[in-house]
Amino acid sequence: MTTGQMEAGQHKNASNKTFSGLQRKETLEAMAQQQFDVIVIGGGITGAGIALDAQSRGLRTALIEMQDFASGTSSRSTKLVHGGLRYLKQLDVKVVAEVGKERAIVYENGPHVTTPEWMLLPFYKGGTFGKLSTSLGLRVYDFLAGVKRSERRKMFSPDVTLQHEPLLKKKDLRGGGYYVEYRTDDARLTIEVMKKAVELGAMAVNYAKVEELIVKDGTLVGVRVVDQLAGGTVGKDSSDPSASYALYASKIVNAAGPWVDTLREMDHSKQGKTLHLTKGVHLVFDQSRFPLGQAIYFDTPDGRMVFAIPRDGKTYVGTTDTNYKGDIANPRITMADRAYVLRAANEMFPSLGLMEADVESSWTGLRPLIHQEGKDPSEISRRDEIFISGSGLISMAGGKLTGYRKMAESVVNQIAAMLVAEGKVSAELPPSRTKTLPISGGDVGGSAQLAPFLRSRVSQGLRLGLTEPETMLLAQRYGSNVDTVFALLEQYRDEAARRGMPAAVLAALVYAIEREMVVKPADFFIRRTGALFFDIAWARQWKAAATAFLAERFRWSEAQTAAYTAELDQLLHEAVHPLEA
């Protein structure tokens, strides 16, 4: 038993295992009543992974997120759980080997959020890759990444390459390499990992910002957290003292992604290696305008590599990689970013003649990389590192979505060793068990059982009056949790009709509020459904009805409702209107 567990026993009960938006305040209050083993600052994939690893080893864990979960970089990536072929180009063999093996684990534990996708890498006369280097590179990649036999690379002639993707530029085409990447939904992956941590007893809250580190005798013992939604304010810090909470733990982890250095500044420990933020944008097109049938990884005119990926009736293309110094919370796409991606796409798919007006949506993210002197953005290593400050702040910097589980395992190994050495745990903690631990929604019996699982749920959905595509969408999004969504669908059928909403939309919204801590329209339309990126028309269609429902559930004032409506409208606007500079 840990010190945290012993002390918590004297206070109010530990975790209530709730992850409901309606219980946020109660959860924060309960958090302030106990001593934790670990507090994680940051609710992106890094923080969620650490919370899951720590809690699943029996450490009493809390996680604090100042915005919505995954609203930092973890909803703004290329959405690939990948083996990191690009790192082979940088000869970062260790990263290729590690993330390649890791993706198989990520897939097994959550096959509903991760899908294997064959990727075509065309090569041209004078391009970055030739036939030999592609063939050799992909073979080395298969070997390093431990790729399973059925997914090992194939090499295509120019004709076969074009059969796979007729939209490709034909001039000077010399052939193509064919290999497997894994497509994911980064934000949903983050949420599912977090839900699993909460299911096991971790406590997690969004819109709660760590504004101060609490230090005693030179050692970090806690954090002061301010509820960002308190007092009816919308996204502002509240001066209401009842909105401020002191949380205590033996170890504090800084998993703040692009804000890692901001926390290190708060700790007066930002020295030595620092973060280097680079910006990446993606553009989304409708399939009617960009009917890509096959995911492509291709050269840009300036010698970089970008992806074009078909998904849910859309095609997305990206990414850029440029140094960034602006507002971390709200990086915006510029006209230059848009022009860059359009030019790259038009160069590789010349028959399309894509224009600005064809861009249906976009997103912009910041890579929290570790600075390397004299390197260009695309050359900086994506490796992760752990920094431990004099006060004991444990910062996790760099890394990839793909490596989240392994990163979490190594940081929690260090935490466990420190807790043992400090006598704060009575015995050795068990080793990490996340390698074989399904994340929330992943209880489908492993990847091999996903197809039969989906088939069985389709028949159930049809019985509930849904179409096959509607059911597939829900079953793939929620995995084994879809049964709860189906139950809500029955429960809310009449109310949905009264509100003029499809029952499936209302059921997903209620699920998001009660089981995924949604508190704002933007949480639902961006992080829980991805609609702002991949079905912006759906977001526009249902935003008023969804906001009205949220307003009633959360008893918002007119001013609050107006503010949250405006916030979503602004984000819908920004997705299609780049900044000039």
Given the rule CB under 6 A, which residues bind ligand FAD? 41-47, 64-67, 71-74, 76-80, 82, 209-210, 255-259, 280, 319, 365-368, 399-402
Question: CB of 90: closest distance to ligand FAD in angstroms?
Answer: 15
Question: CB of 458: closest distance to ligand FAD in angstroms?
Answer: 29
Q: Which residues of 123-157 are buried (b: 16+ CB within 10 A; e: fewer)?
A: bbeebbbbeeebbebbbebbebbebeeebebebbe
Question: CB of 310: closest distance to ligand FAD in angstroms?
Answer: 16
Give the Cα separation of 267 and 91 in Å (integer).
35
Residues 6+ apart with CB under 8 A from 66: 207, 208, 209, 210, 228
Cβ closest to ligand FAD, residue 113 vs residue 504 = 113
Residue type for 415, please? I
Question: CB of 5: closest distance to ligand FAD in angstroms?
Answer: 24
Question: CB of 73: closest distance to ligand FAD in angstroms?
Answer: 4
Candidates 136, 140, 123; CA nearest to 176 is 123
Give the Cα separation of 51 and 198 in Å (integer).
9
Cβ closest to ligand FAD, residue 196 vs residue 400 = 400
Cβ closest to ligand FAD, residue 309 vs residue 512 = 309
CB 443 within 8 A of CB 112: no
Cβ closest to ligand FAD, residue 55 vs residue 471 = 55
Give the Cα separation of 163 and 154 in Å (integer).
14
Dihedral (CA of 525, 531, 533, 536) sign: negative
- Grouping H, G, I as helix, E, B as strand and the rest as coil, residue 485 is helix
Q: Tell me the chain's radius of gyration from C-alpha atoms.
A: 23
Cβ closest to ligand FAD, residue 205 vs residue 501 = 205
Cβ closest to ligand FAD, residue 400 vs residue 543 = 400
Helices (H), 116-175: 131-144, 158-164
Cβ closest to ligand FAD, residue 507 vs residue 526 = 526
Angle between helices 558-576 and 536-554 (to 10 degrees): 160
CB hemisphere CA count around 247 (13 angstroms): 33
Cβ closest to ligand FAD, residue 76 vs residue 520 = 76
Give the Cα separation of 562 and 548 in Å (integer).
10
Question: CB of 243: closest distance to ligand FAD in angstroms?
Answer: 14
Cβ closest to ligand FAD, residue 213 vs residue 501 = 213
Cβ closest to ligand FAD, residue 323 vs residue 459 = 323
Question: CB of 131: closest distance to ligand FAD in angstroms?
Answer: 26
Question: CB of 578: closest distance to ligand FAD in angstroms?
Answer: 15
Question: CB of 553: closest distance to ligand FAD in angstroms?
Answer: 24
How many helices and strands (H and E) does the chain possess? Answer: 20, 18
Question: CB of 391: closest distance to ligand FAD in angstroms?
Answer: 16
128, 288, 291, 298 from 168: Cα distances, Å:
16, 16, 11, 10
DSSP 357: G
Q: Which two tokens stand for residue 474?
A: 């829900």
Q: How many CB atoms lie within 10 A of CB 547?
A: 21
